[in-house]
Amino acid sequence: MRFKGLYLWIAVPIIVAVLWFFVWYMPMKAEISKRQNELNEVRQQSQKAETDIRSLTEMKKKEESIKASLREYRGQIPLFDNFPDFIYQVAGGARKNRLVVDKFSGMFKTLDMQPKTILTYPAFELGFKGRFMDIGQFLEQVTASRAYRKIMKANIAYNEKEYPLLAGKFEIEFKAWKERAALESE
C-alpha cells in the first residue's frame, strides 16, 4: 500500500501524456502533413504554370521572329506571277557581267504545283558566252539572291577559235511564291 500514492503520481502524468499524444498531437500532426501535401501540390502547379508561361512566351517570340523573317523573304523572293520580271533582271545581270545570253528557256517539268507548300521552284536553262571569271561572278550574284535554290546541271565548254570566251550551259532552279493570297495569310 505504500506504493499506491507513488503509482498514482507516476500514472497520472503518463495518462496525461498519452491523452495529450492521442487527443492533440496525432490530429495536429495529421493536419500538418495534410497541409504540407496541399502546399506541395500548389507548388507543383505553380511551377507547371510558370513553365507553361515561359514556353508560351518563347513560342510567341519564335512566332514573331518567323513572321519577321517571312516579311524579309517576302520582298526578296518574287511572286510567281511576277517571275518574268525577275528573270529579266537575271538576264540583265548576265549582260552587266559582260556575258552574251545565247539561250534562256523555262523547264516546265519543274512547275509541279504542290498544294502543301507556299513556294514553287521553277527552273530555267541558261546558255551564255563569256570569260571564265565573268561567268563565275555572274553565278555568285545569282546564288547570293534569296530566290536562288540550286544549280541542277552545269556545263562549260570552249571553242579554240573563240578561246578567251567560254560557252556555259546551266540549269538553275529558283524559288517563287505561288500566289499572293497564301503569302498574305501567313
Task: Report how far residue 44's alpha carbon sits from residue 32's, in angstroms, rounded to the nearest whole number.
Answer: 18
Same domain, residue pair 31 and 91: no
Cell numbers placing 99: 556575258
- Higher model confidence: residue 71 or residue 170? 170
The residue range of the domain holding 96 is 80-185
Chain-centre distance of CA 8, in angstroms? 82
Same domain, residue pair 168 and 88: yes
Task: Report how far residue 10's alpha carbon sits from residue 141's, in angstroms, rounded to the nearest whole number.
Answer: 103
Strand residue runs (E) in 16-99 = none
Same domain, residue pair 69 and 160: no
Question: How distant, in Å, are the alpha carbons of 2, 10, 104, 124, 148 from that of 127?
Answer: 127, 114, 6, 10, 17
In this predicted structure, the answer to whether residue 161 has a pLDDT above a threshold of 60 is yes
pLDDT band at 34 (very low <50, low <70, confident <90, very high): very high
Point out which residues pair with 171 in neighbouring strands: 125, 153
Same domain, residue pair 14 and 91: no
Same domain, residue pair 110 and 66: no
pLDDT in tens, 61-92: 999 998 888 777 777 788 888 888 888 888 88
pTM tops 0.75, yes or no: no
Task: Report how far residue 167's alpha carbon sits from residue 155's, in angstroms, rounded to the nearest whole number.
Answer: 8
